Amino acid sequence: MTDFIAGLPKCELHLHIEGTLEPELKFDLAARNGIALPYSSVEEIRAAYEFDSLTTFLKVYYEGMQVLRTEPDFYDLAMAYLRKAASQNVRYAEIFFDPQAHTSRGVPFDIVIRGLRRALLDAETQLGVRAQLIMCFLRDFQAEYAMATLLESLPYKEWIVGVGLDSDERGNPPAKFAAVYERARQEGYLLTMHCDVDQDNSVEHIRQAVQDIGVNRVDHGVNVLEDPGLVEEILEKGLGLTCCPISNGYVTESMKIEGIRKLLDLGVRVTINSDDPAYFNGYVQENLEALNFSEEDLVRLQRNAFEITWLPRHLKDGYLAELD
């Protein structure tokens, strides 16, 4: 099964670029930027990756990205991920970035996006991996800061395919960002947002995302199974869900594979993704292996993924033809 998965043309639609920062690169960037890390080895860093909830994970995630300071840092981060993606036969990726996690500590927006963009262009020509950027707002900051970030992104609109919403979900419902999402839609961005697994009010958050905000897809969203009417609505709208089994296993008590299975059987466009692979020890290959699904189901998952990409129809069809 490992070889079968390795051979499949794959797609990654839920991947935080800051969550791909491997300990080795963390050390290199700290040295380059003259930053002292409170760890003396890669093993020590890995040992500090102890989390059992979204909140405990996010603390380590934000702390880790402090080493990212310059345009080349963001280039190197994205290039390292794209090389890894190419090695796993990932043909296309939609990559989240968290500008506010950098602007809030003094790193300018244009430094972040220029570094990432340059890596995407190089990856396409040098590695044959295509990718697009999705800008995420941090939901535990005020909506006004998200709006300011949205406005700051407009000169770079051509480099960003859509917007997302991530970080700490408790007490930060989709409704908080209704005006930001409305403006993003007017500006031509496609819309997604995290409805993380097993948060307080998960189902209500999915409902708001789908019905009130009108998202084009939902990140995670497995809890929709608790509301059959909402499942039906997601089916009718053909909305995709970007699920992340290994990540689920870290931030909740289970990988939620049963739920993913059920959604796939119902015909919902579920997809399998890695979320924050440097922290959760698994890229897309390992996430697909964790499922123990049949070859037929693995192909269905990849068909779903290419189908819900934010690519023009002719490019989707090109990738889908490779799965025939």
Binding site for Zn ion (CB under 5 A): 275
CA angle 115, 144, 99 (to 5 degrees): 15
Q: β-strand 194-195 against 217-220: which pairing, if any?
A: parallel
E strands in the chain: 10-12, 90-97, 130-138, 160-166, 190-191, 194-195, 217-220, 240-243, 269-272
- 96 forms bridges with which residues in the sheet? 16, 134
Considering the complex, state which of residue 90 and residue 136 has its C-beta at the smaller distance from ligand HPA: 136
Of positions 25, 61, 149, 215, contacts ligand HPA by CB under 6 A: 61
Rounded to a whole number of angstroms, the minimum distance from the CB of residue 21 to Zn ion is: 14
With CB under 5 to 8 Å by kind, the binding choice for 309 among Zn ion, ligand HPA, none is none
Beta bridge partners of 271: 242
CB 72 within 8 A of CB 114: no
Which tokens go with 2?
Answer: 């490992």
Give yes or no for residue 167 binding ligand HPA (CB under 6 A): yes
Q: How far is the CB of 166 from ligand HPA (least distance, A)?
A: 3
Residue with the shortest CB distance to ligand HPA: 166
Dist. CA 96–CA 147, nearest whole Å: 17
Q: Count residues near ligand HPA (CB under 6 A).
A: 11
242 touches ligand HPA (CB under 6 A): no
DSSP state of 223: G
Closest to ligand HPA by CB, 111 vs 138, is: 138
Q: From the list 22, 73, 76, 166, which residue makes contact with ligand HPA (rule: CB under 6 A)?
A: 166
Taking the CB of residue 315, how many other CB atoms lie within 10 A of it? 13
If the CB atoms of residues 49 and 299 are measured against ligand HPA, the closer one turns out to be: 49
Q: Does 71 bind ligand HPA (CB under 6 A)?
A: no
Q: Is 229 exposed, middle or buried (0-12, 13-18, 19+ CB in 10 A)?
A: exposed
96 within 8 A of 276, measured Cβ to Cβ: no
Residues 196-215 that bind ligand HPA (CB under 6 A): 196
Determine if 245 is a binding residue for ligand HPA (CB under 6 A). Answer: no
- Residue closer to ligand HPA by CB (options 21, 311) is 21
Site for ligand HPA in 11-30 (CB under 6 A): 16, 19
227 annotated to a ligand binding site = no
Q: With binding defined as CB under 6 A, does residue 137 bind ligand HPA?
A: no
Q: Is 275 annotated as a binding residue?
A: yes
Q: Does 94 bind ligand HPA (CB under 6 A)?
A: no
Q: What's the Cα-to-Cα distance from 214 to each of 1, 97, 303, rounded to whole Å?
A: 38, 21, 23
Residue 285 near which of ligand HPA, Zn ion, none (CB within 5-8 Å, type-dependent)? none
Tokens (6 digits) for 256: 């939620």
Those residues with Cβ within 8 angstroms of residue 129's Cβ, 6 or more apart along the chain or in another chain:
82, 85, 86, 90, 91, 92, 93, 123
Given Zn ion, ligand HPA, none, residue 282, with its beta carbon under 5 to 8 Å by kind, binds: none
Residues near ligand HPA, by CB under 6 A? 16, 19, 54, 61, 166-167, 194, 196, 247, 275-276
Annotated binding site for substrate: 276
